[in-house]
Structure 1
Amino acid sequence: MPTRPRLIAVAAIALAAAALAGCSSAVTARPIAGGTAVAAPAAHAKPQVVAIGDSIAFGKGVRPDQAWPALVAAQHGWTLTDLAVSGSGFVKPGWNGDTYREQVATALGLHPDYILIAATRNDRAENAALVASSAEELLGELRDTFPRARIIGITTVWGADTPPPTVATVNGIVGKAVTGVGGTFLDIGYPLAGHPELVQADGIHPNAAGERAVAKVIEDRLAPLGVTS
């Protein structure tokens, strides 16, 4: 038969265990009327955005967080997946052989609330009819898969010199494809033209200040449209 001191010790251990169990349940749930408990609410997920583009959207020569898609996403509190590939376009293959086709294929497996897509200088020497057919096809796929997503396109980001007329042709093609699926197409002009201090030594790719200049123009165009986080 257990002695009195031993019974007291057993009781003390049981009370301690009950107290610990009570503390543990208080961390994972909150009490409600009636004595039941519900799990604490999950944090609200941020809107998701994907970027489809070229080396400038990728941020060649700058940190990933300094590229214009990252700056725009940060401004709105979006979570960014940047799919851009250097050298790529709707028709022109990038450094790894991928065009916008492969970027869109990856995007189709995600769940974006916003889709950023850039016209690119890389398509300026390609067959205009091929660029048009690719743009229409890919934008159609994005819209069919994500009927509620907001598609935002921008005109080509050019360097410090004057762009050739073929760039305007590409912009017109991409703009028609974006607006054709109910997207928003922003004419950002050429914020780097005449500003060599905003581009890297190649005269093409914006430096960190240049990427900020591009992002600012995009934000200026978005502000009247009511695009929010």
Structure 2
Amino acid sequence: MVLRPALAALVVLAAAGCQDDAPTRAIDAPAPPGATATPPSRTTPDVPLAGVRADSDTVTVLFYGDSLTAGYGLARPDEDAYPALVGAQLAEAGVPVRVVNAGNSGETSAGGLGRIEWTLRQTTPDVFVLALGANDGLRGIDPEAMRDNLEGILDHVREAAPGARVVVAGMEALPNMGADYADRFRAVFPDVAEQYDAAFVPFLLDGVAGVPRLNQADGVHPTPEGQRIIARTVGETVVPLAQAEYDEAG
């Protein structure tokens, strides 16, 4: 999918803009056992993953991403970020669901690889949603290195939760990185999805990026209304997968 340059720029800036205002971890360091997946900030509650366990009849959906997933800048990320909204869609559809928001503001694919083992020790997903890469594009990281990191994350998921259904969300690179870089960057996500037999969401911010009323004052992080649009985009893929998981388990 080809995006207008302004939209492509917003995709990556949205995940990185929080770095000036919220604490972040070193990109290659795993989160310590007592840490949270979403670091505490002025607007992000400190809710650890430790102890998250689902009942046998509950579908666990693990969202693994950056500030877009964490709901950075929202007053109520535990209610208004898209993972919670997708969870509400599932509950409305009659699927008992436990949503785990493992979004980490400022995260890169390398950072995600660094903390995936710890995250999977805290909870075993039935559905795993991978939404990383935006910060890689901002930093101009080699798309092949990003590919290796994303594959490494999904290798860990396969090992820890062999039956988990996987969703990969695509991102875009900054246009000033050049057309060749942008094309190689964009191609990573559908390729990884195909390799791991994962469902694919082409663009996490479809309909949101570049629309002022759907973004906060920084112009890059979605408002609650913007998050609702993301939830509809992601829900179109995640809800049927989680429904199928629930039906098959029953």
Which TM-score bucket, shorter chain as reference?
A: 0.5 to 0.7
Structure 2 SS opposite 1:83: strand
How far apart, in 1, do the equivalents of 2:155 and 2:236 lie? 27
CA contact (8 A) 2:201 2:237 kept: yes
Q: Are residues 182 and 222 of structure 1, via their aligned partners in 2, closer, same or farther at CA, if it must alter by over 3 Å? A: same
1:141 to 121, 140, 156: 156
The Cα shift of 1:222 comes to: 4.9
Aligned amino acid, residue 150 of structure 1: R
CA contact (8 A) 1:84 1:103 kept: no
Aligned to 2:98: 79
How far apart, in 2, do the equivalents of 1:68 and 1:103 lie? 21
Is 1:123 aligned to residue 136 of structure 2?
yes
Q: Which has the higher contact order (CA 8 A, sep 6+)?
A: 2
Q: Are residues 147 and 51 of structure 1, via their aligned partners in 2, closer, same or farther at CA, if it must alter by over 3 Å? A: same
Aligned to 1:90: 109
The Cα shift of 1:194 comes to: 3.6
Aligned to 1:102: 114
Is 1:114 aligned to residue 127 of structure 2?
yes
Is 1:155 aligned to residue 155 of structure 2?
no
2:194 to 169, 172, 179: 179
Aligned amino acid, residue 207 of structure 1: T
1:19-50 Cα shifts (integer Å, max 9, x gaps):
xxxxxxxxxxxxxxxxxxxxxxxx86421111
1:140-190 Cα shifts (integer Å, max 9, x gaps):
22112211111111123x7xxx95355664342133223212211111363
Percent of paired sites with the same residue: 25
Q: Are residues 169 and 57 of structure 1, via their aligned partners in 2, closer, same or farther at CA, if it must alter by over 3 Å? A: farther
CA contact (8 A) 2:117 2:156 kept: no
How far apart, in 2, do the equivalents of 1:57 and 1:169 lie? 24
Aligned amino acid, residue 122 of structure 1: N
CA contact (8 A) 2:208 2:214 kept: yes
Aligned residues: 175
How far apart, in 2, do the equivalents of 1:168 and 1:185 lie? 17
Unpaired runs of 5+ residues, structure 1, are: 1-42, 92-98
1:89-144 Cα shifts (integer Å, max 9, x gaps):
203xxxxxxx1023412332122111111133201021222111111122122112
Aligned to 2:58: 46
The Cα shift of 1:220 comes to: 3.2
How far apart, in 2, do the equivalents of 1:167 and 1:86 lie? 23
